Structure 1
Amino acid sequence: MRAGFAAAVCGVLAGALSACGGSGGGSGAKSEGGAGGKDVQPPARTVHLKRIPEIGDRLRQRIPSDSRQVVAVYGDGKDSADSTVVLYTKAGSTWDTTRSWAAHNGKKGWTNDHREGDKRSPVGVFTLSDAGGVLADPGARLPYTRSASFQAPRYWAKSHWHDFDYVIAIDYNRVKGTAPNDPTRPEGQSKGGGIWLHMDHGSGTSACVSLPKSAMEYLLRTLDPNQHPVVVMGDKADLNA
């Protein structure tokens, strides 16, 4: 486990968390049967897939050849905050469907040109290198930073207070090998950043992908840096292009 960030990080917390969650309930709220409720499991384990379903050539070619774990985020629509997350694991030369969960993405949907504050999640293939959160390391394989600096501000809606109990950084406009809430933006602030997998609050996010607590625990204990995990994310039309 990495040591927690020093108090100086708290000064940049608002910026680091700006892409995740928000101060209100957001749009597209679901009932308790949504992503904040039970996991959504596939009817049967699907094994020996020659390719990951519903991922077209454009994005499939961007998956590193050595990646053996893919978190696929299938957005319901270009302007929808609802999505499904599926974990695929490569066995030999084929892929197995491992787990699946209901999830949320940016409250305004998806974009191929993400900008700070646009409330849309970026479409693309991104590595997963670092994790952390308010809670103690649950047995993560990725480097895990526990720090109170992840705590959501108490002026946010109460439903958001536990959003960052567990987070996995999506390597969009960030420096790999740093804590998820490191504020460095290599492509500049206008391109946004601080985009994570994190715990769900029942509605769309500012750009992150949110999942049930049980899903975050499972991913933290399963995603292995030696397997070079990536996330492939977008609305279904873009994914299949």
Structure 2
Amino acid sequence: MVVAAAACGVLLTSCASGNDDGPRKGAAGAEHGESAQAGAGDPRRIPDVGDRLQSEIPRNSRQVVAVYGDGEDSAKSTVVLYTKSGTKDTTWEKARSWPAHNGKKGWTTDHRENDKRSPVGVFTLTDAGGVLADPGARFPYTESVSMQAPHYWPKTHWHDFDYVIAIDYNRAKGTPPNDPTRPQGQAKGGGIWLHMDHGSGTSGCVSLSKAGMKYLLRTLDPKQHPVVVMGDRAHLQA
């Protein structure tokens, strides 16, 4: 296995961020002065996601992790878990939300190695792991000290990779999160993860609290075909 420092699209640079977690009041948009129902008029759609990305969500997906970036050049975002319920599997319901961070320089539709931006798009979620023991993940989980952040990083970053969920951007599915394979080539970056937060922007990953990561690991189920829909609000709504 490679060292985890190769994660989040860069080599040996800091990656994540840290805030308290728990259900937020209202929908993600409400934290930015919008109505709690903004973009939520059709329960068959993920709120505030336009036709282009909405169409990329697999029809058989029943779990969506939506990452709403504050702005194209902002490192702040909100993670919201939506699940489908009901016998007809047509309605999305908001389950939980958490404050989060993304790439320190914001978002991009053309992610490149070391650009410090998170890729916009819809990506599957298939593999997880971390330095800590499996907390009850439904994904295949790889526990390995090779994922530990180097201790010459700031101490606030040492636990970034205690829990991680690999985002299937330019990676080989069915491998540990820190597998170095880059199907689209090294120039397109890789190692984009959901992982634990240290209070500021990342090198391309999305980060949230430890409690949030444990909740996602215990809730996201490969049988439900989970995906992440991620980007700044303007690109999400396009």
Could you tell me how far apart the structure 2 residues matched to 1:78 and 1:13 are?
30
Q: 1:113/1:143 Cα in 2 relative to 1: closer, same or farther (>3 Å)?
A: same
Aligned to 2:120: 123
Aligned to 1:208: 205
Alignment of 1:142 onto 2:125: no
Q: 1:135/1:180 Cα in 2 relative to 1: closer, same or farther (>3 Å)?
A: same
1:85-122, Cα deviation, whole Å (9 max, x unpaired): 00000112110000000000000000000000000000
Q: Report how far residue 13 of structure 1 moved.
A: 1.7
Alignment of 1:37 onto 2:20: yes
1:28-53, Cα deviation, whole Å (9 max, x unpaired): x8xxxxx4224352348999822110
Which one of 153, 160, 175 corresponds to residue 157 of structure 2?
Answer: 160
Aligned to 1:57: 51
Percent identity of equivalent pairs: 70
CA RMSD of aligned residues (A): 2.2
SS of residue matched to 1:116: coil
Which one of 82, 94, 98 corresponds to residue 97 of structure 1?
Answer: 94
Gaps of 5+ in 2: 28-35
Mapped contact 1:173–1:191 kept (Cα < 8 A) = yes
Q: Report how far residue 21 of structure 1 moved.
A: 9.5
Could you tell me how far apart the structure 2 residues matched to 1:232 and 1:14 are?
24
Could you tell me how far apart the structure 1 residues matched to 2:12 and 2:22 are?
24
Q: Point out the more displaced range, 43-52 or 97-106.
A: 43-52
TM-score where L is the length of structure 2: 0.88
Aligned to 2:3: 13
Q: 1:21/1:72 Cα in 2 relative to 1: closer, same or farther (>3 Å)?
A: farther
Mapped contact 1:23–1:155 kept (Cα < 8 A) = no
TM-score where L is the length of structure 1: 0.87
Aligned to 1:87: 81
1:129-166, Cα deviation, whole Å (9 max, x unpaired): 00000000000001000000000011111110000000
Alignment size in residue pairs: 224
Could you tell me how far apart the structure 2 residues matched to 1:113 and 1:142 are?
28
Q: Report how far residue 14 of structure 1 moved.
A: 5.8
Q: Point out the more displaced range, 13-22 or 116-125.
A: 13-22
Mapped contact 2:137–2:217 kept (Cα < 8 A) = yes
Aligned to 1:219: 216
